Structure 1
């Protein structure tokens, strides 16, 4: 497998993992803000799809047929980070799939050293290659997947990429509660030690 295929596989896997964070949740749970800045699951999917569409489209002179009003110059700030009531989960998931298919066509058609221009980056960095953008979008997608991991765990306790994720310790909910309590006790003890110095 060559470098482009490896990067493409990583990106495709992270995309699927991100969409998987929506599975089995109510309309409210996929939309509700769980951080002080409003981070929510459906907004993360909308954001990742939107930026991927731009990076593999406009950057390489391959704009897509969709208009994304939440990215317009006069759009409300952060409109790509949440779903308005009239935007359905199905529409946003379809946007994510459409952006992925558009990106996949760019990745398939161009060589890793194909040049592009990121107009929203500073002049000294805006000239890029497909290789750079593939790495950038792998990182961007994984970054937001990490946010989604935490949000999903806060919503219903689900952790990892799938129920049998080998990267997680095999613990019962009770075992996780004991583990969490041990970490909390360590934090309290460390705070007491720091205060006594």
Structure 2
């Protein structure tokens, strides 16, 4: 492995782990109902996002490179209900889903450690002839997907109990009390209404 390959892998791991941590942190302190309840018309929910992210890592950074993790994922089988990877059944505990996600991290990290970034894999669910990609591409794809869902989780968590931020130590949000935020939101609402009158 070249020094530049090692640096690139280190950067990729750092950004991937940051996204993983942010996504999982959004579950902290919430009761079972709140981590599972559908918060949008399409059913988006916190635990479902984690379940989906686990499957993405196991697929793109495992199966794609001939490194299956041996984790049973019944929601990916042909007979599974549509969108079954986006929500947790009552029988699938939070501990099971978060444990699966952590095992997926470990497996994905082992793939990244074991293979050069220019290693070519085959994505089993992509069309034949267009199913090849490098490990570098796969990791970037997983980072983008995980960050996207961490953003979804940010919004869901704020809607559930008002908690915001990237992590316990970095809210990434301007500080202000409830009154400040209410005034701020009212100002945005007023601006939106003024702009809307121009339609």
Gaps of 5+ in 1: none
SS in 1 for 2:175: coil
How many residues align structurally? 194
Mapped partners of 1:179, 1:124: distance in 2: 52
Q: What residue number does 2:18 align with? A: 13
String of CA shifts for 1:29-85, please: whole Å, max 9, x gaps: 000000000000000000000111111111000011111000001100001100100
Gaps of 5+ in 2: 1-5
Identify which range, 14-23 or 113-122, moves more after superposition: 113-122
String of CA shifts for 1:137-175, please: whole Å, max 9, x gaps: 000100100100000000011111135526311111221
Runs of 4+ in 1 over 2 A off after TM superposition: 122-125, 162-167
The structure 2 residue matched to 1:43, chosen from 45, 48, 62, is: 48
SS in 2 for 1:128: strand
Mapped partners of 1:20, 1:71: distance in 2: 25
TM-score (norm 1): 0.95
The structure 1 residue matched to 2:67, chosen from 45, 62, 66, is: 62
The answer (yes or no) to whether the contact 2:164–2:171 under 8 Å persists in 1 is no
| Cα gap change, 1:80 to 1:101, in 2 (>3 Å) | same
Q: What residue number does 1:193 align with? A: 198
Mapped partners of 1:120, 1:112: distance in 2: 21
Q: What residue number does 1:106 align with? A: 111
TM-score (norm 2): 0.94
